[in-house]
A and B are shown apart, each in its own frame.
Chain A
Amino acid sequence: MTKHARILMANLLFNKRNQMIRVFKNLYQYRELIAALAWKNIVLRYKQAYLGILWAILKPVMLMLIFTLVRSFVGIDTGDIPYPILTFAALLPWVFFQESASEGVNSVTSNAALIKKIYFPREVFPITAMVTKIVELGISFFILAGMMIYYKMMPTLYALWVPAIILYTMIVALTISFFGAAVNVYYRDMSQALPVALSLLMYGSPVMYPLSLVYQKLIVEQAAGKWSNDFYTLYTFNPLAGIIDSFQRVLLKGLPPDYNALYPGIILTLTILPFSYMFFKRAENWFADVI
C-alpha cells in the first residue's frame, strides 16, 4: 500500500468514525425530540382504540397461533422446547425488526409537513420509528414472560444478553431504514417493495423453524452436497438468523449466544451501516425540495 493510499484509508476511517460520533451526539442532543415524537406516534395509534396498546401484541400472538397450527400438519423438530414459546420468542425480535424497518422507511415521507417547515437532523425520523416499536416490543415481553411461567421455564443469567441482542437488532433495522427512507423520498417504489422483501426474508429467517434445523440439515446431513457449509454461512449472513437464534438460546435454552451464527451477519451489518448512513445524510440535503 502506498503512503498516499494509507492516508486516504486513514482519512476515510476517521471520517466514518467522526460520522458515527455525530450520530450519537445528535441522538443525545435530540433525545427529547425523539421521545416526544415517539410518544406522539404511540398516543396517536391507540388513542381512540378501546383496547389501546394491547393491539400492539396482536401481530406476534396471531402469527404464533397460525404457526403452531401449521406445525401440527408438517411437523418441525424443536428439541425439548415447546413449539409455541419457541416461535413466539422468534417472533418477538422478528416483528420488532420488520416493523422498525418498514416504519423507518416510511418515516421521512410521512413527516413531509415537518421536513418542509423546520430543520433538525433527519435521522431523527427513522430512529423515532424504531423507538416507537421498542415500546410495543416491551409489551410483547410481558406475554413472553407469561408463557415462560406457563411452561415453567426459568431464565438464566444468560438472559442478560437480551439488551445487547435488541441493540443489534436496532442497528440492523436502522441500516435498512436509513437507505430505504432516503430512496423512498425520491422513489416511492421503496415503500411498496420493502414489505414484499421483508415477508420473503421471514422465510429465510429461523422464525417458523429453529436454526438448529438448518444446522442439522446442512452441516450434519450435508444435504446440499459439497456446497452445504457455504450455504450455511450464506444463511447466517442474514443478521436475523443470528439474532433470533441467540434470543432463543439466552432466554429459553439457558445457553450463551452461538457466535458462529452471529458473526457473518454482524460483519455484513457493520460494513453496510456507514454507507447507508452516509447515503442518507447526503440525500437529506434535498429532502425538503423533492418530498
Chain B
Amino acid sequence: MKPIIEVNHLTKEYQLGHITSLKENVFNAFRRLARKPVKQRENFKALDDVNFTIEQGEVVGIIGHNGAGKSTLLKHLANISKPTKGKVIVRGSVAPLIEVGAGVNPEMTGRENIFLNGAILGIPKKIILQKLDEIIEFSELEQFIDTPVKRYSSGMTVKLGFSIATSMEADVLIVDEVLAVGDLAFQRKCFDRMEDLIKRQGKTVLLVSHNIRQIQRLCNRVILLDHGRINMEGNPQVVCDSFYEQSDRKIKTNIDHSQTRAEGSGEIELVELYFLDHMGRQVESLSYIQNCSIHFKIHVLQELEEVTFGFGFHTTDFLYLTTHNSEEQLKINRLPPGDHEITCKVNRLPLLPGIYSVRFGITAGKAARTIFYGESLKHFQVIGNIPITIRDGFFALDAHWIQENIKVIKTPVISIIEA
C-alpha cells in the first residue's frame, strides 16, 4: 500500500519584508525592459528540502524550536499553503485541528457555531444533526449551548471547538497544540478521544506540540525540525532527548552573557571557576550521576582568618537548589595573601539534565562577615540519559517503586487522582 502522506523535497520560501508596492513593481518592469538588474527582496526558507513519508495508522510527532517550520509544514499538509518547490501528496481527507476555534464566531450561539464549524470542516449537515447531542455532551456546555459564544470563557470556547473538530471523520488528523486546553478533567477527555482515534480507529495523526512529553507518549515516530530541515527522525525517546539537549544548549548560549551578580569587600577576588569531570578533564558541562569537582581559584589581598567557603547550585531563575558550606569539612584558620585554590568534590551529581548556575560565597572572622558573594557565576548544562519516569524536576531520588499486596486498608480517601 502506498503511504498516506508523501512529502518530496518540500521547500517553502517566503520573501522578507513588505509586499512590493505598485510603484516598485512598475520600476522593476522598466528595469527588466532595460535589462538592468532588478531589485530583489531577500528570501527566507521556512522549509528546506524536507522529505518524509507517513504510513496509514502512524502517529507522528513534529517538534522543533519556534520558527523551525512546524506550522508551515502542517499548513502544507492541510493544503493551506502551496510549496515553492517539491510536492506534498496526501491520499485521504485531512481534518486540521490547527488552533481549534478558528471558525468559532463570537456573535453566534454555541449551537449555531456547531453547524457553522461543521460546514467549514466539511462535515455534512446530516452527520452533524446525528452527532449534535454527542458534540454538546462532549463539550460539557449543555447549559450554555444557546448563549452567544462571546459570553463564554476562553476555556469554554476551546472546548466547543475541540468537540466539533474531533467529530469529523477524516483519514488524517492534524493536531497543533490543542491538547493543553480546558481544565484537567476536560484535558483527560481530549486525551481519551485522541487515544481512541489513534488506537482503536487506526487514524493517522500528526501532532505538533511544545509539550515534548505528550509527544513522547502518543507518537511512534518523531520528526525534529531545525531551521526548516529535518534534523533527526525516528524513535521518540532518542529524538526527544536530543531535542532536550539542543534546547538546553540554546538556553545556555542565550544566558551566558547575562550579568553575574557578585560583590565583595575587596579583600579577596574570584579569579577562576572551572569544572573537572570524573576523569579529571576540564569540562563545560557535567554529567548526571557522575562524579565531578568544582574548582575556585581565588586571589587573597589581605590576610584572612577563619575562612569559610560555601557554594550552591541554582536555576537560571534563581531558585536555590543546594548549598554546601565548608565549615565542618575544611578548617582554615589563616589565609595568607596570594593565590589559592579550593575544590569541592561532588559525588554522583544528582541534578537532572538541564541548565543550572553556580553561586559562591566566602565569610571570614569570628562574626562570619561576608567578604565575597556571587550568583550566576557560571552557567552549565547537565547532560545524560534518564528514564522517562523522572523527567520533571531538578533532582533524582535514589528510589524505586514496589507493590505490596498485603491487605486492603480501609482508610478515608484523601484525594482522587485520575491519571
Task: Identify which of A32, A118, A189 gathers the most chain B CB atoms within 10 Å of its CB.
Answer: A118
Cα A113 to Cα B101 in complex, Å, equals 10
**Chain A residues in 8 Å Cβ range of B330:** none
B121 touches A40 (CB 8 A): no
Q: For the complex formed, measure the closest distance between the CB of A125 and the CB atoms of chain B, giving whole angstroms.
A: 12
Cα A245 to Cα B37 in complex, Å, equals 54
B96 touches A117 (CB 8 A): yes
Instruction: Name the interface residues of A117-144: CB closer than 8 Å to any CB of B.
Output: 117-120
Cα A33 to Cα B103 in complex, Å, equals 12
B102 touches A119 (CB 8 A): no
Q: Does B125 contact A (CB under 8 A)?
A: yes
Q: Does A65 contact B (CB under 8 A)?
A: no
**Chain A residues in 8 Å Cβ range of B120:** 33, 36-37, 114, 118, 120
A118 touches B103 (CB 8 A): yes
What sequence of 0s and 1s flags, for each residue 158-188 of chain A, a beta carbon within 8 Å of any chain B beta carbon? 0000000000000000000000000000110
Q: For the complex formed, measure the closest distance between the CB of A110 and the CB atoms of chain B, giving whole angstroms.
A: 12
Q: Does A59 contact B (CB under 8 A)?
A: no
Q: Which residue of A lies closest to B117 (CB)?
A: A36
**Chain A residues in 8 Å Cβ range of B92:** none
A36 touches B119 (CB 8 A): yes
Q: Does B365 contact A (CB under 8 A)?
A: no
Q: Does B22 contact A (CB under 8 A)?
A: yes
With A37-B119, A40-B105, A187-B22 known to touch, is A285 a contact of B82 (CB < 8 Å)?
yes
Cα A163 to Cα B79 in complex, Å, equals 36
A118 touches B22 (CB 8 A): no
Q: Does A116 contact B (CB under 8 A)?
A: yes
Task: Give the residue of B75, B99, B122 whose beta carbon is less than 8 angstroms from that of A288.
Answer: B75
Task: Give the residue of A47, A116, A120, A186 whose beta carbon is less than 8 angstroms from that of B107.
Answer: A47
Q: Which residue of B lies closest to A45 (CB)?
A: B107
B22 touches A32 (CB 8 A): no
Q: Does B80 contact A (CB under 8 A)?
A: yes
Cα A118 to Cα B19 in complex, Å, equals 23
Task: Give the residue of B14, B19, B116 whose beta carbon is less than 8 angstroms from that of A40.
Answer: B116
B112 touches A43 (CB 8 A): yes
Q: Does A289 contact B (CB under 8 A)?
A: yes
Chain A, interface size category, equals: 20 to 34
A117 touches B119 (CB 8 A): no
B22 touches A189 (CB 8 A): yes
With A32-B125, A187-B22 known to touch, is A117 a contact of B107 (CB < 8 Å)?
no
Cα A120 to Cα B108 in complex, Å, equals 22
**Chain A residues in 8 Å Cβ range of B122:** 33, 120
B102 touches A118 (CB 8 A): yes
What sequence of 0s and 1s flags, for each residue 120-157 of chain B, a beta carbon within 8 Å of any chain A beta carbon? 11101100000000000000000000000000000000
Cα A162 to Cα B336 in complex, Å, equals 108
Q: Does A290 contact B (CB under 8 A)?
A: yes
Q: Does A197 contact B (CB under 8 A)?
A: no
Q: Does B81 contact A (CB under 8 A)?
A: yes
Cα A286 to Cα B96 in complex, Å, equals 19
What sequence of 0s and 1s flags, for each residue 35-53 of chain A, a beta carbon within 8 Å of any chain B beta carbon? 1110110011001000000
**Chain B residues in 8 Å Cβ range of A116:** 75, 80, 102
**Chain B residues in 8 Å Cβ range of A37:** 116, 119-120
What sequence of 0s and 1s flags, for each residue 186-212 of chain B, a beta carbon within 8 Å of any chain A beta carbon? 000000000000000000000000000
Cα A153 to Cα B99 in complex, Å, equals 57
Q: Does B115 contact A (CB under 8 A)?
A: yes
**Chain B residues in 8 Å Cβ range of A187:** 19, 22
Q: For the complex formed, measure the closest distance between the CB of A146 and the CB atoms of chain B, giving whole angstroms.
A: 32
Cα A286 to Cα B15 in complex, Å, equals 12
**Chain B residues in 8 Å Cβ range of A285:** 82
Q: Which residue of B lies closest to A286 (CB)?
A: B82
With A40-B105, A113-B102, A290-B19 known to touch, is A118 a contact of B115 (CB < 8 Å)?
no
**Chain A residues in 8 Å Cβ range of B121:** 118
A117 touches B19 (CB 8 A): no
Cα A114 to Cα B14 in complex, Å, equals 20
Cα A289 to Cα B19 in complex, Å, equals 11
**Chain A residues in 8 Å Cβ range of B22:** 187, 189
Q: For the complex formed, measure the closest distance between the CB of A52 and the CB atoms of chain B, giving whole angstroms.
A: 14
**Chain A residues in 8 Å Cβ range of B105:** 40, 44
Cα A115 to Cα B102 in complex, Å, equals 10
Cα A120 to Cα B120 in complex, Å, equals 8
Cα A43 to Cα B167 in complex, Å, equals 25
Cα A167 to Cα B79 in complex, Å, equals 32
With A44-B105, A288-B75 known to touch, is A117 a contact of B98 (CB < 8 Å)?
yes
**Chain B residues in 8 Å Cβ range of A186:** 19
Q: For the complex formed, measure the closest distance between the CB of A121 and the CB atoms of chain B, giving whole angstroms.
A: 10
Cα A289 to Cα B75 in complex, Å, equals 10
**Chain A residues in 8 Å Cβ range of B124:** 32
A114 touches B119 (CB 8 A): no
A118 touches B78 (CB 8 A): yes
A44 touches B79 (CB 8 A): no
Q: 20 A-B Cβ contacts within 8 A?
A: A33-B119, A36-B118, A37-B116, A43-B108, A44-B105, A44-B107, A44-B108, A47-B107, A113-B103, A116-B75, A116-B80, A117-B98, A117-B103, A118-B78, A118-B98, A120-B122, A186-B19, A286-B82, A289-B81, A290-B19
**7 pairs of A and B residues whose beta carbons are closest in the complex:** A36-B119, A117-B102, A119-B79, A285-B82, A33-B119, A288-B80, A288-B81
**Besides A36-B115, A37-B116, A114-B102, 7 new A-B residue pairs in contact (Cβ under 8 A), listed by A number:** A47-B107, A114-B103, A118-B96, A118-B120, A119-B79, A189-B22, A289-B14
Chain B interfacial positions (CB closer than 8 Å to A): 14, 19, 22, 75, 78-82, 96, 98-99, 102-103, 105, 107-108, 112, 115-116, 118-122, 124-125
Chain A interfacial positions (CB closer than 8 Å to B): 32-33, 35-37, 39-40, 43-44, 47, 113-120, 186-187, 189, 285-286, 288-290
